[in-house]
Structure 1
């Protein structure tokens, strides 16, 4: 069981997504990437709010929504914990990637690109090193 600090999160103040949604997506991605594991302790609402300079109710809303989804669980005296896995990690990762791929597919259709060419380009990009 690892304890994480509030520096785990970051927000983009100019983004179109509300801050609580940004936090939710970050937690989902950290869980899918196994950075956050079942039983890990998340930083307190107060710590996250102070670190990110946001209203504590914003952080609380994100944590509550993640608890409702079953990704987090509340433990009296400890705080918010990453819940035990409900779905396979692979399924989580695919779910997180899907919106990005849907946007790319829409753009490819707008550019009237051949689906085979798009898939070939995507495969090439996947093989490239950062």
Structure 2
């Protein structure tokens, strides 16, 4: 228990450190740029990933089942869902000018995208469809 608490604390500390460095670099050095893959972008990616990890580590405090049915369904069909997600991304990029989309439009697209993937995953689970062949 003590080791997991120490690990959780370190992950949260790193999360705040990377967010702090991202803000400092973005403000005083160079704007975050995925295309340039600058240091501010690297700090941003680390901050986001550590934040997700830190939030997921909080699941230890929730009693009962550790994984949801939807998580297990995603795990059973991971490769097929990854390929489907890539196809959906391509379809969205063909029909929507994502560069000039507003923040609200982008949010609606992302939520719709997540909903479609979740519904298809849940449907595959309900019908006992397993897209993993090995």
Q: Note whether the superposition's TM-score is higher than 0.5.
A: no
Higher strand fraction: Structure 1 or Structure 2?
A: 1
Give TM-score, length-normalised by structure 2: 0.28
Higher helix fraction: Structure 1 or Structure 2?
A: 2
Larger radius of gyration: 2
